[in-house]
Structure formats: C-alpha cells, structure tokens
Amino acid sequence: MRNENGRPRMPLALRTAVGIMVFQTLANTAAGVLMLVFAAEDAEHGRTVPTLTYVLAAVSVIIGVVLLVCVVLLLRRNSAARPVVAAVEVFGMVNGLAGLLLGAPQSVVGLVLAFLVLFHVFRPESTDWLEPWPEEEEDAPVAD
C-alpha cells in the first residue's frame, strides 16, 4: 500500500515492532529511574545501597535510550538500527531465560516481547520497506 505521497506505507509487522519497542523504552526507563529513586531514599535514611543497584539502574536507562534511538531510526527507514535492535532484544531474551531459570515466571513477558520484536523487525516486508526508495537511489551521487 502507498500513502498520499506515493511512498509505501510502513508494514503492520514493523509498526507492531515499533509499538513494542516504545513500550520497552518506557518500561526500561521507568524501572531505571525508579531504582535510582529508591536507592536515593535508602541512602538518605542511612541504609547502604549496593553498587549493583546503581549499575542495574544505569543499564536500564541506557537500554531505554538506545531503544528510543532505534525507534526513531526505524521510523526514518534506516535499516542500520536493526543490528542494534537485535543485540538489545537477544540480551532481553537471555535475561528472560535467566529469570525463568531462577524462578521468576513474570520474566516470560520480557522474553515474549523480545521475540516478537525480533520476529517482526526481520520479516521480509519490513526488510523491503527499509530498503531505499527508487527515487532516492536515482538522486544519490554516483562515484566516478
């Protein structure tokens, strides 16, 4: 399908992946900020805060920012975001599997979301949509 300017519309698979990634961005960033708030409250009341808490909070916020950048790049039809998305989502799948093995059944949610993003970002229609438009190829400078 094409929109009013003649360019193909973003496929449903990629829109689904972007929507899940936006949710993951919000969830990761909120979790990281919440961990930092709780750590600051503990430190304010004289309780010791493990360094791991700060590391996990920072990693969570960084993952949220990276996913947000990937969402913007995908919306701009930049396929260079796909390897980064794959790395983050594989990390999320490993994290989900580790959580399941450690007895946290709620980690299956992150596992499923990561799988869905990987599945939809690498579908053929997503790959086709991320390829440059024919008019962009003609406008590109030719190397002599």
Q: What is the average pLDDT across 23-44?
A: 91
Residue with tokens 């390897």: 83
The DSSP element (H or E) to which 47 belongs, if any, is none
Contacts of 3 (CB under 8 A, 6+ apart): 9
The pLDDT tens digits for 99-138 are: 888 888 888 898 999 999 999 999 999 999 988 766 555 5
Split at pLDDT 50, 70, 90, the class of 51 is: confident
Contacts of 102 (CB under 8 A, 6+ apart): none
pLDDT at 140: 57
The pLDDT tens digits for 13-22 are: 999 999 999 9
Tokens of residue 54, six digits:
């700060």
Q: What percent of the chain is predicted at pLDDT more than 70?
A: 87
pLDDT at 5: 63
pLDDT at 106: 84
pLDDT at 44: 87
Q: What percent of the chain is predicted at pLDDT more than 90?
A: 49
